[in-house]
Structure 1
Amino acid sequence: MLKDFKPVLGILLRFIIIYLVLLFAYQFYLNSFKEQGLDPFSRMVARQVMFLQNTMGFPSALYDDIPKQQVWFHVKSQFVTRMVEGCNAISVMILFLSFVFAFYKGIKTFVFVVLGLILLHIMNVLRISGLNIVYSDYPQYGKMSHDYVFPALIYGSVVVLWLVWIKFFALKNENS
């Protein structure tokens, strides 16, 4: 009977191991920057968001709040949102990586992961920019956008990528 579940258990075990290893590595990374405020990757995301907003005609600047490990977005002469570690989408990317590598299919796994991570990063920068614009121009929709609309976009992107991986790569018959 256990023999019937062996493939499923193998996938589940790979997922859990990869997820935990990446999660602990990420936590180690975060702990090494605790005294410096926001970690370098989150700062990079914030700078990219600021660049995009400035390019789109939303004058933006960043202000450090090192003790609270955050960066404030100053958009159109007002502080609208703050960037904290959780906004960088690394936890979402770890979940994505774990799932895809659980269904490992050779070199195409690495290609798909790289392209998927790039897409998720772009979606996250667009998500944060969108949130800043909503908070700047339509503050009455800010909470709903932050709590429901924009998380649905980033998590929805992950689900779509997973479905593409499963349908077109992981479960595709190798002989056809």
Structure 2
Amino acid sequence: MNITIITVGKLKENYLKEAVSEYSKRLSKYCKLEIIEVPDEKAPETMSQAEEESVKQKEGQAILKHIKNDTYVVALAIDGKMLSSEGFSDFINDLGIRGKSNIAFIIGGSLGLSYEVLRRADYKLSFSPMTFPHQLMRVILLEQIYRGYRIMKGEPYHR
């Protein structure tokens, strides 16, 4: 299975880079992983609604450029469906069974995802009703994908 994570912004903190590197290494046993970083748009502290939409739209256009037609797109969104770790493992496994071998997970920037990206998504996934920093979300997502594969294979780790 080919898994792509398309995310807005670069990782800045070394501890996050190290965690991403570790989970990427662990996942290489289970899937082909690619992480694509698109630039985040400059967003001043105070913006009008129109300015916020413009930022999300520009980031969304950059995201959509990396999505191929045959890709199953999972957008991380606060209003998405929440799954247990076992349910997430089943979700990934079911996609493979259904012949969906290219999956892209989309992590938006600090303002979230554009309407166009959410419309392109085949599934909206929420990890919590809480808001997480998008850089940290990358680590959380990778850990859950790794956990999902371990559960799928019946390997110890997930308890």
TM-score between the two structures when normalised by the length of structure 1: 0.27
Higher relative contact order (CA 8 A, sep 6+): 2
| Larger-Rg structure | 1
Bigger fraction of residues in helix? 1
